[in-house]
Amino acid sequence: VYCPYGIDTAEISMAAREIMDSVGQGQKYCNEIIGKVHEKSNNLGLPPKALKATLEDLEEDIEDETGLAVKLPLDVEGADILLVTPSADFVAEPHVDGLIGYAKVFHQAGVNWTLSSYASEAANFAMFIGSYEQMHDIAERIRKAAQDLGVKRIVVGECGHAWRVAYNFWNTLAGPFDFLDPNYPCPQHICEFTYGLIEEGKLKFDKSANDHMTLTYHDSCNVARASRMGPEPGGQFEYPRAIIKAVCNNYADMDADTIRENTFCCGGGGGLLTDDLMELRVKGAKPRMQALKQVTETNGVTHMAAICAICKSQFAKVMPYYGFQMDGIVSVHQLVSNALILDGQETDEPADEDIDTGEEPAEVPAVETAKDSETQEHTETQGT
């Protein structure tokens, strides 16, 4: 929760959990997830061959959609960028739609990038048990992958606690990262990367591609209260919202006392993302769901965007308990993927007024949709 005196209450919880874990009372669920990272390189236990096949399938899907060979490269030595992202991005909606968005952004920007089969997980569940030793071991995998592949910088995908660990702990846990390009000595969030391209005018959008939605944005607690993006304070609040407004015509914030540093926990963080704790998770989501209900009633909001894998998994499961559709939660880069105009893409030319006009959002009637939930439920049980 937000502390007006600047006390990081999560750090206090981590210290208590470290004591519990040191005497053999660490959380079983989190330790099982950590074991999968050491054995298979990611929380899902997805082996390298399966990961490679998954990425190839996604490349085919993108080519079917766009007519372009947009790549999701794996283990490319000498790439400029290493992307580390939560493993949920490989298999489940809305996460995978966000991964497709990253790939399209990299493609349009013309950058040379890669994923790593050795470090195919940005998440670090050791933070949830307070074990700095385990946090180091998991973070060290990413450092080793970056060194072995010879990349110049590291970009982190949409994952709240992964970004907290990367921003706050990587340099002391697994650093120094002095082998990276001195212009990018610190990890960069994918939102900062995309925002920079938008500011430079390097991306064009057909905002009408998202006109079936009216968006709001959930500030994930590990991003909002425990880190930042970019050189100035507050980037973690402004960059995601700026991206959404660049790709969508219809946007409204929730009440001011429920967002930014005052944001509510999704109810599934801290290692709670297991079906065994569903009753607690539903109760924990209530404050956010109340704020969402209010902005839905006043502004016609139909979908909520987030940049945290746990938040997205949690909301997809608990939103139906509060009368919302389970696909009412979306990835920020899913919205980017919908609207981004790729050079040479096989698509109808949008009307001029629909392209990145910067006009104020207009309200549209609420639209309800539904998607198949099977893959989402499988991924959530894996704790991504």
pLDDT beyond 70 at 353? no
Q: How confident is the model at residue 348, as a pLDDT?
A: 59
Q: What number is the average pLDDT over the span 178-204?
A: 96
In angstroms, how far is CA 100 from the centroid of its own chain?
A: 12
Q: How confident is the model at residue 376, as a pLDDT?
A: 46
Distance between CA atoms of 301 and 136, rounded to whole angstroms? 41
- Cα distance between the two ends of the chain: 22
Report CA Rg, the chain: 20
DSSP secondary structure string for all residues of 123-174:
--THHHHT-HHHHHHHHHHHHHHHHHHT-SEEEE-S-HHHHHHHHHTHHHHH
Contacts of 338 (CB under 8 A, 6+ apart): 209, 210, 247
Q: How confident is the model at residue 9, as a pLDDT?
A: 82
Q: What number is the average pLDDT over the span 58-71?
A: 97
Q: What number is the average pLDDT over the span 250-265?
A: 97
Distance between CA atoms of 289 and 305, rounded to whole angstroms? 13
pLDDT beyond 70 at 384? no
Q: How confident is the model at residue 199, as a pLDDT?
A: 98
Per the CB < 8 A criterion, the answer to whether 310 and 87 are in contact is: no
> For 13-36, b where at least 16 C-beta lie within 10 A, e where not — what string?
ebeebeeebeeeebbebbbebbeb
Across the chain, what does the average pLDDT equal? 90
Distance between CA atoms of 224 and 146, rounded to whole angstroms? 27
Q: What number is the average pLDDT over the span 91-104?
A: 96
Say what the pTM is. Answer: 0.88
pLDDT digits (tens, 9 = 90+) for 238-248: 999 999 999 99
Q: How confident is the model at residue 49, as a pLDDT?
A: 96
Q: How confident is the model at residue 150, as a pLDDT?
A: 98
Distance between CA atoms of 77 and 67, rounded to whole angstroms? 27
Q: How confident is the model at residue 11, as a pLDDT?
A: 84
Give the lowest-confidence range in 10-24, 164-178, 237-251: 10-24
Q: What number is the average pLDDT over the span 103-112?
A: 98
- The helix (H) or strand (E) run that includes residue 231 is none
pLDDT digits (tens, 9 = 90+) for 124-171: 999 999 899 999 999 999 999 999 999 999 999 999 999 999 999 999
pLDDT beyond 80 at 339? yes
Where residue 373 falls among pLDDT bands split at 50, 70, 90? very low
Where residue 364 falls among pLDDT bands split at 50, 70, 90? very low
